Structure 1
Amino acid sequence: MADIKLLLTGATGYIGGSILTQLLQSELPIIKRIKVTAVVRQESQAALLREHGVNAIVFSGLEDTELLQQLASEHDMVINTASTFHPASAKAMILGLAARKKQTTQAVHFIHTSGTGSIADLPLSSTYLDNRKHSDKDDTYSYLKKREEEGPFPQRSTDMLVVDTGLQADVKTYTLMSPTIFGVGTGHFNKLSIQVPFFMRAAVEAKHAQVIGEGASIWSDIHIDNLSDFYEFLISKILSDEDVPHGKKGIYFTETGEHTWMEVSKAVAKAGLKLGALPTEEVEKLSLEQAAEKWVGGNLMFTELGFASNSRSQADLAKELGWTPKVGLLNLEHACLEEFRAVMSETQKDDKLLTKANVAKKVSEGKSD
């Protein structure tokens, strides 16, 4: 049978790297037929991926939309994990897939990696209040569109563009909106996410864990291994020509549980004390203004959105398709120990530590790495 050509962006990131490992190690016959092309920024990264059977191509970045469109036109599927805030590159790859479909008359697929920041509220500033749990069986597209009309948000704007461009170009799109992701990744490069490790780094600097306000707001969550497993599961369903919701109905939440921010801070404090990284299990309560100044150089909106908002989701579509998460990976508190060890072992501090300027940049650009 013919190979299935897949283009992956973000292979050096936390999510993309873990997905790549999952696909390369898969025992599913349909997944074994996939030949992966990954775009990376450095030759050293490309060389390492080539050693693992990946066709790695060095490019200048997501701004090179001409190259991305050309590469997409040579592939049957694209998994976009590089950035949730870069509409031009997403559109270019969808248009490239449309050209591929026209040339081959075969189905093409675009899997877009987004986050549930697109449905998050801003409760402390009372800018927007919404702490209900959203099901992906509801009309998520219309909800996102309404939120955009009330106030544009770059990640959500890209989500809308992906769906709309796919419909216009007759390309099946699948938008995976992930909540807080925890656990150590399995990729060859970045192995840590943003939110929980950031709380750990901030705690080490302050010598105790911290939280904004009472930490009562709630986010859904998922372990990175469960998330990678769902990507593999969804891809296998798509490639097996099963009836998989796409387009406006193909917006998936990828959660397995939920937490309050206080629960995260307490888990960080407990893990830090156990590992000797913190002298106490104390959790300091900061005002939004204090946290923004200490953590991200004063950016109130992104501090509240990333570390104090409500973002509750329910993965009903995944369950209807037959996906079953691995139960042993559902405990965030247990995973904090593993993550804290990884944070403590970081050696390239200039690259890895989320400084005030760096964390604001990463959160605002929707980086997974």
Structure 2
Amino acid sequence: MSASSATLSAASTLFSVNILITGATGYIGGSVLTRLLGSGMMFRKNANFTALVRKQEQADLLSTKGVNGVVFAGLDDTEVLRKQASQHDIVINTASASHLQAAEAILLGLADRKKGGKMACLIHTSGTSCFGDNPVSGIYRDDNQEIIHSDNEPNTIKHQLLYAYEKHREETHPYPQRTTDVFVMERSEQLGVRAHILCSPTIYGIGTGFFNRLSIQAVGIMRAARRDGYVFVIGQGAGEWDHVHIEDLSSLYELMVDHLTKGNFLPCNMTGMYFTEAGHHSWREVSERVAKEGFRLGYLPSDEVREVTLQEAKEKMGSDMPAELLELGFASRSRTKAGYARELLGWDPVKTRTDFEESFAKEWEAVMQEIA
């Protein structure tokens, strides 16, 4: 029996499904967890959830929600990661997109589980900064500035173009998140474990988790603007990205779990990259909307947007953020098409352009509550 058919056989005969989630106290992981807990899909009736957390009080709170909270030392605690992964059918890794050692420990644990003929699947979380260019530093520029990366075009599946693209980028200039993507695709193939990477663009909206509910990119700009009194944009802000609402994204994780527990085979490993776009924006638009809503709500003295250099932006966002990450995450062009999600999983995002535009006011209010 092949590795894939063995996995499908195991999945189709499951009476219960054990799901492990990392990053459950975070923005993505917390929202995914609450979505799964409240799911009306078939898997929910017999699903058991475990979450790895760093504090006992977090584990205690999760236990009141029907989740087994396991306290561990963090992602460097690879022994615990491997052991816990070996005890679960599906591992949803939302804790870090760039911690390669943690990803390997999870894959090794799933491989241990698979040896017993049990279901062993990974849903790994990544981001589309891996596909962004470097318009400021010039480290990398796509020859085709109109390119939109697709996960389900026939030639993509046949020639594994997304894997090849990331592999090529790594050979010329490594980037930790992309390094981890490539590793997960290659190592899962070697181990015979099914790995699926959900690669998301800008995620917006207030989360639904029990802990952190704030996003990263727009919120980061808001915090800096509140401190400085004006909103910045790197250069002209011409780079375009996609976006997805956190609730739509959580529903995609739910759909994937549903398909996996039903034994439906989904592209994985070398062809297992799933994009999650549901709209797009420019960085100039993001900064202008942050400024407009911040001024309207009385949080900023004006709706001014100042163009700054990459180094100036780095100083505003904190010296701990690498310049390359800042450039890829706040200035690059990265466009994608979520074909797999829509065609294979039946994903149908419900949030609209209006929801994106209205999210800036809601996130401003959440940021101000945090500051208070």
TM-score normalised per structure 1: 0.91
Paired residue for 1:2, among 2, 15, 18?
15
* 1:267-306 deviations in Å (ceiling 9; x for gaps): 1112112221112222111122322233333843232122
* 1:43-98 deviations in Å (ceiling 9; x for gaps): 00000000000010000111111111111111111000111111111111111111
Query: Aligned ranges for residues 61-76 of structure 1 at < 5 Å?
Result: 61-76=74-89
Q: Which amino acid aligns with 1:327?
A: K
Q: Which amino acid aligns with 1:337?
A: A
Alpha-carbon shift at residue 221 of structure 1 (Å): 0.9
SS in 1 for 2:115: helix
Query: Aligned ranges for residues 111-150 of structure 1 at < 5 Å?
Result: 111-130=123-142, 131=145, 132-137=147-152, 138=156, 139-150=161-172
Q: Which amino acid aligns with 1:325?
A: P
Q: Is the 8 A contact 1:271 1:336 kept in 2?
A: yes
Alpha-carbon distance in structure 2 between the residues aligned to 1:242 and 1:329? 32
Unaligned stretches of 5+ residues in structure 1: 349-369
Residue 322 of structure 2 corresponds to residue 333 of structure 1: no
Deviates more, 1:338-347 or 1:131-140: 131-140
Alpha-carbon shift at residue 329 of structure 1 (Å): 7.0
Alpha-carbon distance in structure 2 between the residues aligned to 1:239 and 1:330? 34
Residue 338 of structure 2 corresponds to residue 315 of structure 1: yes
Deviates more, 1:74-83 or 1:26-35: 26-35
Change beyond 3 A, Cα 1:205–1:170: same
How many pairs align?
Answer: 347
Alpha-carbon distance in structure 1 between the residues aligned to 2:35 and 2:316? 37
Unaligned stretches of 5+ residues in structure 2: 1-13
Percentage of pairs with the same residue: 47
TM-score normalised per structure 2: 0.90
Alpha-carbon shift at residue 234 of structure 1 (Å): 1.3
Q: Is the 8 A contact 1:223 1:329 kept in 2?
A: no
Residue 288 of structure 2 corresponds to residue 279 of structure 1: no
Q: Pairwise CA RMSD of aligned residues?
A: 1.5
SS in 1 for 2:266: coil
Q: Is the 8 A contact 2:248 2:351 kept in 1?
A: no
Q: Could you say which residue in structure 2 is the equivalent of 1:224?
A: 246
Q: Is the 8 A contact 1:226 1:329 kept in 2?
A: no
Q: Is the 8 A contact 2:203 2:245 kept in 1?
A: yes
Alpha-carbon shift at residue 245 of structure 1 (Å): 1.1
Q: Is the 8 A contact 2:279 2:353 kept in 1?
A: no
SS in 2 for 1:38: strand
Change beyond 3 A, Cα 1:31–1:326: same
Query: Aligned ranges for residues 19-38 of structure 1 at < 5 Å?
Result: 19-38=32-51
Q: Could you say which residue in structure 1 is the equivalent of 2:10?
A: none
Residue 249 of structure 2 corresponds to residue 234 of structure 1: no
